[in-house]
Chains A and B, each alone.
Chain A
């Protein structure tokens, strides 16, 4: 591979030298290009009109976790000596996907997953756009199905707001 590149660059003499030298893949190279700290994750672009709504969670970029905002998953898996970190992470992703699909367009906050002993408590803020009867059904449905899949008790602890505007922190 290296030879091909070198020959294409018409550096045959160099390639001959390198031909006999063992190729070391673990060598360390000096990278002189200036670093471009273009961090984009968890940040929102400012709009011209300044009318893009942000919740408190969205308004604070990830480096503010543990300073201005806290984590959305609470468990002991990732502390030193914690057990089954990978399983916990995958289960959390599954719970989030299930919740956002089942409670479609109802959650106006992030889904907070708190684990205590073998209990999983799912918290969040929903808006009151559906019938309370439907909400009761969804709560039972979610708790039943998730506890069947994850084999542990699930509790849903929801708070309702009248509309999405109630959780908007600022507009950008």
Chain B
């Protein structure tokens, strides 16, 4: 029978506690060997009855598997799936941890190695094997679709949605419901009016730079529903943009958003000037572009000079030096102008009027204004001068008057003295 001695000695008690904390207690399974009938309570710590500690049971432990592993073993069968690191199974002398002035802790009894995720189940041969196994479920890529352009042409709609993989017992993720549908506007068969209406309907979902319409649907709880809704939206948008309402026919030239040269008085007047249809006039495309550009972009140095150049071309007049230069390197002149829109002079070229004021008339008006301004300035200066002059004269007159008064006063004083 196991005898327990109870030590009242403080230090010894502390020791026991510490050992308990440090080592595993084996008291849970007392040995069944019988020495004495009763346990002896050892109040005073007598030396003869020392505490008998049970030696931990020695269980026969096999050496690690790694010692018996052949070099050419199939690692994929040893480590088939994701698993925490086990030192007896991995035949690598890995170490992990930080020790000051010593080597890192080895792989046995190393909890750090068990914490970090490992990819021992995804070695290159295993991945290759898995790909081979998956191959029979795949179909070859269509040979006709050998370029991105062809893919875009035959499959214009691009649908994007996300799947989420969390470490949680639930596979539901609310963000997975969002569906993003993208397509090029050019892929839809729309005329100018329908395209205009389509753009008004989609609003900011259209990106002008890439010519892409993006529709994001997230109002339904499921991905399938959102996809169906997005497809419905695309269909509805297309057919709605082809619809023509009766009130749309009432749109007049004043309601137009852009200046279209073909519909405007400018075309009629130039046809009247040349007395032939606009298509037959040489350089008419330059002129119509310049007028449209001027009307749409607003008045600026660049638009005005471009308009002047176009007028000279249409009327077959010699170009100015500056215009000839700008013709040589148009990019630079384009950079000089930065689209200052001055709308207050736009009515010089009337959209619905019967006359047009060419460029040189504008210059004459400016010249006249400058002359008037110069005259005004000179007149003002003269008046200012005159005003100064009269002041001097007035001052001189006053001084003379004062002098005369003094002379009179002195004469008077003399007379008084005489009397």
Q: Residues on A close to B: CB < 8 A?
A: 51-53, 55-57, 60, 68-72, 74-77, 81-84, 88, 105-106, 108-110, 112, 114-118, 121, 123-125, 127-129, 131-132, 150-152, 157, 159-169
- Asked if B84 and A123 make an inter-chain contact with CB atoms under 8 angstroms apart, the answer reads yes
B109 touching A77 by the CB < 8 A rule?
no
A128: contacting residue among B23, B61, B167, B168, CB under 8 A = B61
A60→B105 CA distance, assembly (Å): 14
Please state if A117 and B23 are interface contacts (CB–CB under 8 Å).
Answer: no
- How many angstroms between the C-alpha atoms of A162 and B110 in the bound complex? 13
Measured in the bound complex, the distance between the Cα atoms of B122 and A60 in whole Å is: 31
**Contacts of B57 on A, CB cut-off 8 Å?**
129
Chain B proximity of A4: nearest CB distance (Å) = 49
Q: What is the CA–CA distance of A77 and B164 in the complex, to the nearest angstrom?
A: 12
**A56 with B87: CB separation less than 8 A:** no
Name the distance in Å between A150's Cβ and chain B's nearest Cβ.
7
Answer whether residue B40 sits at the interface, using C-beta atoms and an 8 A cutoff: no
| Chain B residues near A (Cβ < 8 Å) | 18, 21-26, 56-57, 59, 61, 82-84, 86-88, 97-98, 105, 108-112, 114-117, 165-171, 173, 175
Residue pair B168, A77 in contact (C-beta under 8 Å): yes
If A76-B168, A118-B168, A118-B169 touch, whether A159 touches B114 (CB-CB below 8 Å) is: yes
Q: What A residues does B168 contact at CB under 8 A?
A: 75-77, 83-84, 88, 115, 118
List 14 additional contacts besides A56-B111, A116-B167, A118-B170; criterion CB under 8 Å: A52-B18, A56-B112, A72-B115, A74-B167, A83-B168, A112-B114, A112-B115, A117-B165, A118-B167, A118-B171, A121-B83, A157-B83, A159-B88, A161-B109
**In the complex, which of the residues B21, B82, B108 contacts A161, with contact meaning CB atoms closer than 8 Å?**
B108
Q: List 15 A-B contacts (CB under 8 A).
A: A51-B18, A53-B22, A56-B111, A57-B111, A68-B97, A75-B168, A112-B84, A117-B167, A118-B167, A123-B114, A128-B59, A132-B59, A161-B109, A163-B23, A164-B23
| Alpha-carbon distance between A163 and B116 when the two chains are bound, in angstroms | 24
- Identify A77's interface contact among B82, B167, B171, CB under 8 A: B167
A81 to chain B: closest residue by CB: B175
Q: Point out the residues of chain A lying under 8 angstroms from B115, CB to CB.
A: 69-72, 74, 112, 114, 123
Residue in A closest to B24 when the chains form the complex, CB atoms: A129
**Bound: A120/B22 CA distance, A:** 30
A-B contact count (CB 8 A): 115
Secondary structure of the B contact surface, majority rule: loop
A124 touches B114 (CB 8 A): yes
Question: If A123-B84, A128-B59, A159-B87 touch, does A105 touch B24 (CB 8 Å cutoff)?
Answer: yes
A87 and chain B: residue at smallest CB distance = B168
Cβ contact within 8 Å between A127 and B24? yes
Assembled-state Cα–Cα distance A115/B61 (Å): 31
The answer to whether B170 touches A114, judged by C-beta atoms less than 8 angstroms apart, is: no
Task: Find chain B residues with CB under 8 A from A69 CB.
Answer: 97, 112, 115
Known contacts A69-B112, A112-B115, A132-B59; A159 and B86 CB within 8 A of each other:
yes
**Cβ-neighbour of B117 out of A84, A114, A132, A165 (below 8 A):** A114
CA distance A47 to B361 in the complex (A): 103
Cα of A84 to Cα of B115 in the assembled complex, Å: 22
* Neighbouring A residues of B165 by C-beta, 8 Å: 117
Q: Hey, which chain B residues are within 8 Å of A117, CB to CB? A: 165, 167
Q: Is A157 a contact partner of B61 (Cβ separation < 8 A)?
A: no
B109: contacting residue among A115, A121, A167, CB under 8 A: A167
Residue of B22, B111, B173 contacting most chain A CB atoms (<10 Å): B111
Q: Is the CB of A121 within 8 A of B84?
A: yes
CA distance in complex: A128, B60 (Å) = 10
A127 to chain B, nearest CB (A): 6
Whether A82 contacts B166 by the Cβ 8 Å rule is yes
Distance between Cα atoms of A82 and B24 in the complex (Å): 40
Q: Please measure, in the bound complex, the distance between the C-alpha atom of A57 and the C-alpha atom of B114, giving whole angstroms.
A: 12
Determine the chain A residues whose CB is within 8 A of the CB of B86 once the complex forms: 157, 159
Q: Check B56 against A167 for contact (C-beta < 8 Å).
A: no
Which B residues are CB-close (under 8 A) to A112?
84, 111, 114-115
Q: Give bound CA distance, A75 to B117, whole Å.
A: 11
Q: Which residues of A contact B110 (CB under 8 A)?
A: 56
Give the residue name and chain of the B residue nearest to A85 (CB).
B168
A166 touching B169, Cβ below 8 Å: no
Residue on B with the closest CB to A170? B99
Least distance between A125 CB and chain B CB atoms (Å): 6
A70 touches B112 (CB 8 A): yes
